[in-house]
Amino acid sequence: MTSRLRTLGAADRDAALSFLAKRPVENLFLTSKVGAYGIDRRRLGVVHAFERDGEITSLLLDGGTVFVAGFDPDALPAFVAELGPLRRCTSILGPAISVLGLFVGLSERWPGAWGSISNVRRRQPLMVLDAPPAVEPDPRVRLLTHSDFPSYLEASVSMYTDEIGSSPFKYGPGYDRFVTERLRQRDAYGIVDDDGRVIFKADLGPKHGNQAQLQGVWVAPDLRGRGLSVPALAGMLRLAMERYPVISLYVNDFNAPAIASYERLGFVEVGALATVHY
């Protein structure tokens, strides 16, 4: 059996999507990008495939996020060598076993570039909902619009900072454009109070075919602990599932209250991801 690392080009789009479709929920991040942009270095980054006898066994996206799809133990040292001593990404994401193996290899070989991290989320249960949520929805949830931008941006920054431990603006001013794009794509849902303040929000992230990923769930700090989040999420999910009948998410394994809430809504665990943040 022969193996090799190969950099993919535009003609490899269908082969990449076929491999990613073997684990569609786990690979949604990369599938959504290849589906939207193809194998386009300018818009996506560089995609490398590890192959055995011509068959893809693992993929690596080298972009703003490094994403590894599939698990092949021989692929990991090849990916480490390919990524090299210059880190360009802000995070590593993918199935837990592959991400942790890649991170260990990178941080041991090039500790200066790859060893200095914000945090490592070693196990993030991957959960799926493919039926209406099993909770009465909060009727106040709606799609957010550009008129909600100032408060939605404030809520998004608060959520990101709470989760990551640093401001989303630490790499520059681009986060407000990212937030604007979510509004434009109709991917931001929330509850807005009578004063125009977003008090709950939840977003759709990667999307492909009939599935989308739930991200960015946040409740205003002064309203936490009042039973708002689960009915609000039920309302958001009912609206989102009109467009995408399969909704997935991943959550930190130490966040027991969130996991319990998702289980109440009907989500079931199907795997585990990991994330390294720089």
Please write the tens of the pLDDT for every residue from 50-87: 999 999 999 999 999 999 999 999 999 999 999 999 99
Residues 172 and 208 in one domain: yes
Six token digits for residue 220 = 């205003």
Residues 135 and 137: their CA atoms lie apart, in Å, by 6
Q: Is residue 109 part of a domain?
A: yes
Q: What is the CATH number of the domain that holds 55?
A: 3.40.630
Rounded to two decimals, the pTM is 0.91
Six token digits for residue 119 = 């945090």
Number of domains making up the chain: 2
Place 271 in a pLDDT band, splitting at 50, 70 and 90.
very high
Q: Which amino acid is at 212?
A: A
Instruction: Write out the residue range of the structural domain in which residue 76 sits.
Output: 3-116
Residue 218 region by backbone torsions, left for phi larger than 0, else alpha for psi between -120 and 50, else beta: beta
- Is residue 1 pLDDT above 90, yes or no? no
Residues 65 and 131: their CA atoms lie apart, in Å, by 31
Residues 152 and 146: their CA atoms lie apart, in Å, by 9
Q: What is the pLDDT of residue 52?
A: 96
Residues 260 and 146 in one domain: yes
- Is residue 155 pLDDT above 80, yes or no? yes
Residues 212 and 256 in one domain: yes
Q: Are strands 188-192 and 198-208 parallel, antiparallel or unpaired?
A: antiparallel
Residues 59 and 159 in one domain: no
Six token digits for residue 71 = 């698990």
Q: What is the CATH number of the domain that holds 235?
A: 3.40.630.30
Q: Is residue 136 part of a domain?
A: no
Please write the tens of the pLDDT for every residue from 8-46: 999 999 999 999 999 999 999 999 999 999 999 999 999
- Is residue 171 pLDDT above 90, yes or no? no
